[in-house]
Amino acid sequence: MPAAEPFCPACTAVQPPGQADHFARLGFARAYDVDPAAVERRYFELQRRLHPDRFATKSPKERALSQAQATSLNDAYETLMDPLGRAVYLLRLSGIDTGGDGKTVDDPALLMEAMEMREALAEARTPAEVDALVGRARAEAEACRVALARLFAGGDLAAAGKATLRLTYLDKLLDDARARRLNVA
């Protein structure tokens, strides 16, 4: 039986989630460029069939399997809907570590850019200054996402790894900028 198939085709009983990757679980090819609306449609279709409430009158084993399937489905959905999470996951599937575990970054240009943007954020004294930095970071993050689609499609995983690391820094900066915006007046 296919690893991503949630139900036995013969008896229709819910099956364990298996080892399918997130793309296979939702029925998509491994690619960075996914259609979020299609991912969402497929997720809700499967969730309607697998939700634990639908198994409330079934055996404890079937309830547990339904819960495991629903959890795996939620993980797949969250990963594929998040551009950064999807990039990290694709790289991981290809055996590439994105350095998210606190390793030293060996890209001096990226380090300099990150330090300059952090310094600008720390020095921002008005909401307008924070907003200007946020606008720049959002534009850079969108450019990263566009580049990632092209790099993954072209199979340039080394460059995709660098772009993913840059997107990680930009996303973190945007999170920090939201907090900073609350502290400037």
**Domain boundaries, given as residue ranges, for the chain:** 22-81, 108-183
> According to the model, what pLDDT value does residue 98 have?
77
| CATH 1.20.1280.20 is right for the domain spanning 108-183 | yes
> According to the model, what pLDDT value does residue 1 have?
40
Taking the C-alpha atoms of residue 79 and residue 76, their distance in angstroms, rounded to an integer, is 5
> According to the model, what pLDDT value does residue 10 have?
82
Taking the C-alpha atoms of residue 89 and residue 34, their distance in angstroms, rounded to an integer, is 13
Residue range 22-81 forms a domain whose CATH class is mainly alpha
pLDDT tens readout for residues 141-174: 999 999 999 999 999 999 999 999 999 999 999 9
Taking the C-alpha atoms of residue 6 and residue 22, their distance in angstroms, rounded to an integer, is 13
Task: Please report, for residues 27, 43, 97, 162, 171, the alpha-carbon distance to residue 109 in angstroms, rounded to integers and kept in the order given.
Answer: 38, 39, 19, 11, 17
Q: Which residues of the chain have pLDDT under 70?
A: 1-4, 99-105, 185
